[in-house]
Amino acid sequence: MNLIETTGSHHGLERDDEARRGAKAMTSWQNNRGARDARIAAGAGLAHGKVVQARDATRLLEAVIRPGDRVCLEGDNQKQADLLSRALLAVDLSRVNDLHMVQSGVVLPEHLDLFDRGVAKKLDYAYSGPQSARIARMLFGGKIELGAVHTYLELFARYFIDLTPHVALIAAVSADRDGNLYTGPNTEDTPTVVEATAFKDGVVIAQVNEIVEQVPRVDIPADRVHFIVKSDKPFFVEPLFTRDPAAITEGQILTAMLAIKGIYAHYGVQRLNHGIGFSTAAIELLLPTFAERLGLKGRIATHFALNPHPALIPAIESGWVRQIHSFGSEVGMDDYIRARSDVYFTGPDGSLRSNRAFCQTAGLYACDMFIGSTLQIDLAGNSSTVTTSRIAGFGGAPNMGADARGRRHPSEPWLKAGAEADPDSPAALRRGRKLVVQIGETFGDKNVPLFVERLDAIELAEKLKLELAPVMIYGDDVTHIVTEEGVANLLLCRTAQEREQAIRGVAGYTDVGRRRDRAMVAQLRERGVIRRPEDLGINPLDADRSLLAARSIKDLVRWSGGLYAPPSKFRNW
């Protein structure tokens, strides 16, 4: 009973009652709320307040989840609700089955075991890094009914339209007795998942590392959380963004030098996102050395949408970086971030607040450049990390690596790229262009060529009868390709043939590279479409590891003043 009903006029009450009687006879408008309340009531028997013992987690899930439900099992890029995924795997199949999993990351073996066991049937996801080989086998074997492979923002968007979870199983650092959650530095997807679930009559169950009197900060308010399960072990977090400087090659250093001089400096790129490969780690480590000597400090690489990459520590310490917003955190970076709150986003408790949905939006709309690696690039510039035996998913790259058609604010690099692509349109009506740079060595791991005539993704789509080949970045979004052989500026290509030859012209000794039209490539070089190291005043013999601001993980620790605490697998001293 609410206030208006109890104090309404006599006349009004009559009408309301009539309306209610009519609605009862015809249709109810609160079925979902009723169903949600019934689920919560079914689980409440296992709970003290909201708290459920870890040993009762499976029984809780059996009570709350219904066959065929859409379930978001928090599966982020890094943070994993591992206790809840094990609990879900153990359910009685007669009570819980045929679930439709809607989760951004398929990362743990248990995420796929759910399909092997028949707990789950259908999958909509975005990223499957460590499970990429197994997910491919299971798709081919028909074990998983695939909805689609999404980008993060795309899947998050569908949480609010047609993939809203009935139940969300999430992970947090701590909870208080009321259910307020502290998600800590790895907040990642949690606010988005909870928003979509809790406000559309879904049930939210959180695993937490500890239950405390008062949480350090409220990341998720208690009235959006229905059950809390205390885990014996902290939730699993994978260090995904740590690149050991010791493994950076001279080829990667050369490629990084070409990118800095040929693209960062050329366009004056200040706001950007980096991928997680070694080439971009090399760029981060060349900012305080090579780029500093070029006088670029303050002119490039000042604002990032980026996870807390340890490789960026020397640039931060040298005063290069003004601000970083992060999708997630990185293992070992917590104390450093806390001590550098001028640079990172932090809460009143001092620790990082990450948020994948906001950071993806920032990367899409407020960054002028994305630069990252890929596994395959075809002759039109389409790129994919899918191979015939691995489906790694997309994660964030397609959002970062796409021109935002809704963008309206100008900036120097955006306008300059737009003018290069379309010199003839009147400036006031010309769209700018996001710089989308694919960087890599012409031959990757085990001498597998980066450049191909035809993407494996097409073969995969044919075999799985998918309507769309899983292309990570479409060719018409890619503006530059950088390899050790040079920089290809695709904005300056006017025909498909020019584009193909520009790509072949930086494809080195791969089959694609050796089949170039030498005369046309020479012509493209004269026009500045292709720029070789010597065209940029770079001597490949100068690409030396001594240029790296840090040459080991230990160097990074030293740069951080001891604040960076690398995970043990990166400690070799």
Footprint on this chain of another protein (rule: CB under 8 A): 249-251, 254, 441-443, 446-447, 484-485, 508-509, 514, 540-541, 543
Strand order in the sheet with 530-531: 323-325, 303-305, 271-274, 369-372, 435-439, 480-483, 486-489, 530-531
What would the two tokens of residue 34 be? 């009723």
Q: Which residues does residue 99 pair with via DSSP β-bridges, in sequence order?
A: 120
What would the two tokens of residue 442 be? 């012409």
Give min distance, CB of 194 to another protein, in A.
45
Task: Check residue 234 and report its DSSP letter.
Answer: P
Residue 325 or 516 having the CB closest to another protein? 516
Residue 190 or 255 having the CB closest to another protein? 255
Task: Check residue 56 and report its DSSP letter.
Answer: G
Give min distance, CB of 274 to another protein, in A.
22
Task: Check residue 309 and report its DSSP letter.
Answer: -
Task: Check residue 260 and report its DSSP letter.
Answer: I
Residue 124 or 244 having the CB closest to another protein? 244
Residue 526 or 534 having the CB closest to another protein? 534
d(CA 210, CA 91): 24
Give min distance, CB of 540 to another protein, in A.
6
Residue 457 or 543 having the CB closest to another protein? 543
Angle at 138 between CA 137 and CA 141, to 5 degrees: 85
Give min distance, CB of 537 to another protein, in A.
17
Rg for the chain, CA atoms, rounded: 26
Give min distance, CB of 284 to another protein, in A.
21
Residue 77 or 442 having the CB closest to another protein? 442
For 213-227, b where at least 16 C-beta lie within 10 A, e where not — what string? eebebbbbebebbbb
* Amino acid letter, residue 308: P
What would the two tokens of residue 85 be? 């995924």
Give min distance, CB of 443 to another protein, in A.
4
Give min distance, CB of 309 to another protein, in A.
24
Residue 68 or 444 having the CB closest to another protein? 444
Give min distance, CB of 345 to another protein, in A.
39
Q: Which residues does residue 344 pair with via DSSP β-bridges, in sequence order?
A: 324
Residue 20 or 514 having the CB closest to another protein? 514
Q: CB-based burial of residue 147 (10 Å sphere; 0-12 exposed, 13-18 middle, 19+ buried)?
A: middle
